[in-house]
Structure 1
Amino acid sequence: MVTHPSRGLHGQAVEEIGRRIIRGDYPPGSVLHPDKLEVELGVSKTVVREAMRVLASKGLIESRQKRGTTIRPRAHWNLLDSDLLRWQGSAAPTERFLEDLAEVRALVEPAGARLAAARRTETDLAAMRQALDAMSAAGTDADAMVEADLAFHRALLNAAHNELLSRMEVVIEAGLSIRDRIVHGAQHFSDSVPVHRALLRAIEAGDPDAAVTAVESLLSQASRDLAAVQARDGHDEDAAGATPDEAP
């Protein structure tokens, strides 16, 4: 079992079984055997039972008499659950999953920016400025850039002062984290500080229209960076599979 030092055995079991389900190791309709999981993960019956309870609450599995514990169809999964979002993106996210996340960001963030421009407080602005400073200082440190980017967009949604909109941060952060780790990890990306700075200035000025324009520009740049990395990776795979005579 892959260990996560910050989690107990129960949390590690949830993590491992959940990732397997999301990856498709256990397809919908298949049966999970707790006794086998106990042996594979090296944990007790109690740990597996508690892990199953958590996974059931996320809509991934169900237990019935005579049928045992089975994997539910994807339509029943709680896809907005923070763990499910993270599991889907932590391995090799599908193109469809990345497109869905990009579409959600395009719906949520412009609205959040418009509200933030009208409702932001000095505390909100200070949080955004601090995140922007961290982005500027990150340089080529991919992990630092990702954390700073997440902090900026979290502060942006919080500045809208809408509790329900703030809850969308779980989706926004999943999309950002996945996109950022692909792009920054590949060391192939545009300088994102200027577009974030333009967004901050629009919110500081209390200009909703300018804030929407700035966030749309930011999202467009993010999409271009991701597309460039995917195109390059696809070219590298084609080149690796070509014969010497076919290689570019």
Structure 2
Amino acid sequence: MAAYIGRGVHGNTVELLGARIVSGAVAEGETLDLPRLSTELDLSITALREALKVLTAKGLVDARQRRGTFVRPRDTWNLLDVDVIRWQFAAGAADGFLRDLAEVRAVIEPAAARLAAARRTESDLIALDAALTAMGRAVGGDPADAAEADLAWHRALLVATHNEMLVRMEIFIEPGLSERDRLVHHQSAEDDPVPSHRAVLDAIRAQDPAAANEAMLALLAKSDSDLRRVTTGDTSSTGAEAAPAGVVPPNERESS
């Protein structure tokens, strides 16, 4: 899941071609004219093919005899690849991704909070406390530090479930959450995420699964509201309207 770290001409070529494909500038199914690209980018065909190998590994392109190298359908792309996610954001095509991310988090994280409350160890609490402290230090500071602290907290939450499959859910959540955090923290540096995260941690510390679930639902609602504020300027979303897709606010759920 790590971002491609190639540098120089090779890395720049991967970046350029990947961004063109994900943005739609090069359409799905389109065959790439390698000689033309070689001339445009002042690259040898061999160097160009090396860059295309990286995009092949990300599911963006493939090659066939007689057809040549072509852009694969979007449903074959590795949409959880860090670079593919970043290229979507750069192309201004992140709305659908962010909606899907909110729905995935609504399914996974309340359940993770409940399990963490039931199973957490002292070392889990230490990790969650450390991430929360880092989160507090980052408020109003470097947005990258704020995003990293948030990721560390959510990673520690999954670890505290002591469910190996849930821990691996970081593969689905972290790349998108990282981009989402950078977007929010760059445009809203004054926001303080500590109270909503502390409420979840307090419930986990108290070994209260129901309270952890409620606090996580509130955290997700705030997350959705924060994102709408920086993307649409909507500052009115509170309560039920702020709940992320797939989340039923606590005051609207049927009592058991």
**TM-score, normalised to structure 1's length?**
0.81
Distance 1:42 1:130 in 2: 49
Letter in 1 for 2:180: R
For residue 14 of structure 1, report the CA deviation from its aligned partner. Answer: 2.9
Q: Percent same amino acid at aligned positions?
A: 52
Q: Residues 75, 199 of structure 1: CA spacing in aligned structure 2 closer, same or farther, 3 A cutoff?
A: same
Give deviations 1:200-241, integer Å, cap 9, x for gaps.
1112222222211111111100111111222328xxxxxxxx
Does the residue aligned with 2:63 lie in a helix, a strand or coil? strand
TM-score scaled to structure 2, two decimals? 0.79
Match of 2:131 in 1: 131
SS of equivalent residue, structure 2 residue 181: helix
The equivalent of 2:178 in structure 1 is 177
The size of the alignment, in residue pairs, is 230
Q: Does 1:160 align with 2:158?
A: no
Residue number in structure 1 paired with 2:99: 99
Question: What is the distance in 2 between the residues matched to 1:44 and 1:168?
Answer: 40
The Cα shift of 1:43 comes to: 4.6
The answer as to 2:218 corresponding to 1:208 is no
Cα distance in structure 2, aligned partners of 1:143 and 1:64: 41
The equivalent residue for 1:118 is 118
Q: Which residue of 1 aligns with 2:218?
A: 217
Q: Distance in 2 between matches of 1:50 and 1:164?
A: 35
Match of 1:7 in 2: 6
Amino acid at match of 2:116: A
Question: Does 2:37 match 1:76?
Answer: no
Question: What is the alpha-carbon root mean square deviation over aligned residues?
Answer: 2.5
Which structure 1 segments of 5+ residues have no match? 234-248
Match of 1:48 in 2: 48
Change (3 A) 1:5 1:228: closer
Deviation at 1:195, TM superposition (A): 0.8
Residue identity opposite 2:98 in structure 1: L
Q: CA contact under 8 A between 2:147 and 2:182: conserved in structure 1?
A: yes
Give the aligned partner of residue 242 of structure 2: none
Hey, what's the Cα distance between the residues in 2 that align with 1:158 and 1:90? 31
Alignment match, 2:67: 67
- The Cα shift of 1:41 comes to 4.4
Matched-pair contact (CA < 8 Å) for 2:14–2:51:
yes
- Matched position secondary structure for 1:113: helix
Task: Give the letter aligned to residue 7 of structure 1.
Answer: G
Between 156-165 and 193-202, report the one with greater CA deviation: 156-165
Match of 2:227 in 1: 226
* Matched letter for residue 124 of structure 1: D
- Whole-Å Cα distance in 2 between the matches of residues 134 and 93 of structure 1? 31
Give the direction of change, closer, same or farther, for the CA distance of 1:202–1:20 in structure 2 (3 Å limit). same
Aligned letter for 2:160?
A
Distance 1:46 1:165, change over 3 A: farther
Residues 36 and 123 (structure 1), Cα distance of their counterparts in 2 relative to 1, 3 Å cut = farther
8 Å CA contact 2:23–2:93 kept in 1: the answer is no
Q: Deviations over 1:34-78 (max 9, x none)?
A: 344444445554443233223223221121111111111112212
Structure 1: how far apart are the matches of 2:161 and 2:49? Answer: 41
Cα offset, 1:166, TM superposition: 2.2
